[in-house]
Structure 1
């Protein structure tokens, strides 16, 4: 799949997912350097992949979901990037992020591979969103054509609200 960064084409590697697919497992690293497996998560989940929390659009996206999460108490929200866990923890502390879990894909790049979000040329994850129901079925997918654009917040939250 080809996406763009400031209009320049880039290639995504990995398995491109669609609505109806079973969400693939992955292992990522949390702020305490512990492995977190997708199979250990439960309920309705929003997985957001972003290039880096230290960029304006990723910052805005994660802060927006952190604020909106309070109205969706039955939904777990995860932001995944290649940022090191130390950088993610620092960023979350600096911005008061309490309702979004940040995970790093730096070690094994399984999120990038299994969710088709690894940008070959940059070694980062692209901006994408996945809503997964309690049966591990994907009910919403959004791979943004242009990395610098924001996702469709309303559509993501609506899909999460309607998921079972």
Structure 2
């Protein structure tokens, strides 16, 4: 499993670590209207999955805004996933003007967190990470950010999404 810390404290990641070349695991998360969303809903598209611990914090805010800005330049669907409640995500997105990406909640059952090995057991939050899944559901890029309060490598993730088919 990937080794990550949050504010310097080691975290136990629950689930299976995903690696480049793996078939992307399916998952079920909630949209802000409480409807279910799965990876299979976007089958045939390139997906960039941006994972944040809590959308209402500085680095998570910046990460989500950055991918919202990049969305128009990418031929990819961008999903941001956290365990924040769908209602809180909806309010945050409205206040932040987030309109180009899907912001989804894994709060209900941690389906995504455990399928991708990013559920931090000690905090019941998701570890900051990025996954790019191509149109054939193969994982082409993975970043488990070592320290949860650090930014991901935006440029590498964007380039991976651009080169995925």
TM-score range, shorter chain: over 0.9
Gaps of at least 5 residues in structure 2 are none
SS in 1 for 2:12: strand
- Pair 1:54 & 2:60 matched: no
Would you identify which runs of 4 or more consecutive aligned residues in structure 1 move more than 6 Å? none
Aligned ranges 1:15-164 → 2 under 5 Å: 15-42=16-43, 43-72=45-74, 74-164=75-165
SS in 2 for 1:88: helix
SS in 2 for 1:80: strand
TM-score (norm 2): 0.97
SS in 2 for 1:151: coil
SS in 2 for 1:67: helix
Aligned length: 163
CA deviation after TM superposition for structure 1 residue 61, in Å? 0.2
RMSD: 0.7
CA deviation after TM superposition for structure 1 residue 41, in Å? 1.0
TM-score (norm 1): 0.97
CA deviation after TM superposition for structure 1 residue 6, in Å? 1.6
SS in 2 for 1:89: helix
Gaps of at least 5 residues in structure 1 are none
CA deviation after TM superposition for structure 1 residue 30, in Å? 0.2
CA deviation after TM superposition for structure 1 residue 100, in Å? 1.3
CA deviation after TM superposition for structure 1 residue 48, in Å? 1.1
Q: Using the alignment, how far apart are the partners of 2:34 and 2:105 within structure 1?
A: 9
